[in-house]
Amino acid sequence: MKSKIRKNSVFIANFIVLFLILVTYLSIQINEIEFYRQMAYDEAIKDAELTARDINDSLNGFVIEQRVVSQMMSNDMFLKEWCHSETGETAGQNVYSLYSYLREYKNIYGYDVVFFISDSTKNYYYDGGFNKTLDENDDFDSWYFNFLTLHQPYDMQVDHDEVNDNQVSLFVNCLVQDKGFQTLGVVGVGNNMNSFQRQVAEYEKEYGVEISVVNIGNAHNSFKGSTGYYKTAEQVAEQFGVSEEELCQNVGDEGLSLTKDNRCISIQHNNELNWNIIVQKDITNRINSIMDRVIKRFGIVALFIVVYMAFSVTLMRKLNRLNRKAENTDDLTGLLNNKIFSENFERERKKKNHKQMTVSLFMLDVDDFKIFNDTYGHLYGNTVLKIVADGLKETVENTGVVARWGGDEFIGVYFGSPEETLEKLNSLLEEIKGIETNKTITCSCGIAQVDLSENLEKNMGRADKALYTSKENGKGQCTIYEKK
């Protein structure tokens, strides 16, 4: 019982140690994961915000000149006076002066197109001449009429440039009014977006982000698609996994930052264009890298725990075997003690494979052992017991089991018939008699065939009777129990 308690105590102590190690390690790892995850989110949001602001500044630089030039033209007295003298003709000295005026601005600033639309005739004039007369029912011309309904001095939008092979360009449209604030027409410039697209691509590559731009408030036109980074709210919502309402909300000058799963999204508003710039940074790879490091470390800790457990279990088993051996072994003779012999006997006799075996039980004691102790001392008596014990071990070897029952008494099981056992033990008694000692050592022994249906006490009773028969017949001999 003490051994079992000790064994359980060692196991529980090891379990507690490992549990504390594991809990401590997991706590550290959870805190580390959260720390690095938050740091990754903070860095990603910062990168997204900086990128969005840089793009916003680039857009401002891209369009401010176009807006300033368009506004300068809208306030130019030449254009207003020309509107009052317009004849509606598309050729002739009067209109050629307009073409020349528009062409001059194109050459100075290098725009793709410089145009003017007369509100009275709806004629579309540009630096290359007359384009067409706008039709309110033509979807392609809807931008003009929608712009007028905005009642704003200028508007910027992305649309097809029909005088330049329908390339997608950024247009700045400015209202031209006379002194009485009557609308005379719309003047503007258009420039393709290739340089802006290239700059955005460089930002994507440099910062490892995704970028899109959405129009949230300019005049509607016929252009419903996307061009590179300029997309519809529906397309961007699907791309980034956010709602159109989130994309198109007014985020003010400070902008708005969102987190979706492992993605950080920054929305910045460009007041010049009335566009929202959406920048997304995906930190999935960063998070996976953190988790990979954690998993590797966990693997090392798990391996340590497995090795520690294996070592502990092996050590505990070895210690248990040593403890069990120490607890169940007689200190003087090295034989089993009566406790473990009794337990083994009861366990073994109940096994089915022993039912057909012939097994003998013997009991043996040293004749007149008290004389050895009284005459020569207890140490000498112990030597006598050791001689007898060693002889029994050699005699039985692998064909039986022997134990010290107590005092000078020994008990054993021999896997053979009583006659075979008798022959073995008689040979041992003669051998012991021949050992030179202060007094000749003789032993008496009783042998009985084991009845496996009966317990040890009853089997011992028969062997004990045979032992006393040996004593009564003169000692120094073995006797087989015979039922009377």
pLDDT, residue 226, reads: 64
Tokens of 370: 């008290």
316 and 334 part of one domain: no
Tokens of 98: 């307009």
CA dist., res. 50 & res. 318, Å (int):
65
Tokens of 140: 């392609």
354, 45 Cβ separation under 8 angstroms: no
312 and 426 part of one domain: no
430 and 316 part of one domain: no
401 and 267 part of one domain: no
297, 29 Cβ separation under 8 angstroms: yes
281 and 394 part of one domain: no
Tell which of 267, 300, 328 closes a domain.
Answer: 328
Residue 352 reports pLDDT greater than 70: no
Tell which of 328, 361, 382 closes a domain.
Answer: 328
Q: What is the mean pLDDT of the chain?
A: 86
pTM attached to this predicted model: 0.54
Tell which of 308, 328, 348 closes a domain.
Answer: 328
CA dist., res. 222 & res. 233, Å (int):
16
80 and 160 part of one domain: yes
Any idea which residue has 């005092």 for tokens?
A: 407
How many structural domains does the chain have? Answer: 2
Residue 222 reports pLDDT greater than 60: no
Looking at per-residue confidence, does 165 or 289 come out higher? 165
95 and 239 part of one domain: yes
Looking at per-residue confidence, does 281 or 477 come out higher? 477
Average pLDDT of span 156-176 = 88
CA dist., res. 424 & res. 381, Å (int):
24
63 and 192 part of one domain: yes
pLDDT, residue 351, reads: 77
234 and 201 part of one domain: yes
Of 255, 220, 256, the C-alpha closest to 143 is 220
Residue 444 reports pLDDT greater than 80: yes
CA dist., res. 238 & res. 152, Å (int):
32
Give, to the nearest 10 degrees, the angle between helix 2-74 and helix 194-207: 160
pLDDT, residue 131, reads: 95
pLDDT, residue 310, reads: 78
The model's pLDDT over 95-142, given as tens digits with 9 standing for 90+, comes to 999 999 999 999 999 999 999 999 999 999 999 999 999 999 998 899
Q: Is 112 exposed, middle or buried (0-12, 13-18, 19+ CB in 10 A)?
A: middle
339 and 308 part of one domain: no
Question: What CATH number has the domain bearing residue 467?
Answer: 3.30.70.270
293 and 436 part of one domain: no
pLDDT, residue 412, reads: 95
The model's pLDDT over 8-30, given as tens digits with 9 standing for 90+, comes to 666 677 678 777 777 787 788 78
- According to DSSP, the β-strands at 400-406 and 336-337 are parallel
CA dist., res. 19 & res. 309, Å (int):
12
Residue 339 reports pLDDT greater than 60: yes
Domain carrying residue 466: 330-480
Residue 356 reports pLDDT greater than 80: no
Question: What CATH number has the domain bearing residue 11?
Answer: 3.30.450.20
The model's pLDDT over 186-206, given as tens digits with 9 standing for 90+, comes to 999 998 878 778 888 888 888
Tokens of 220: 């509607």
445 and 301 part of one domain: no
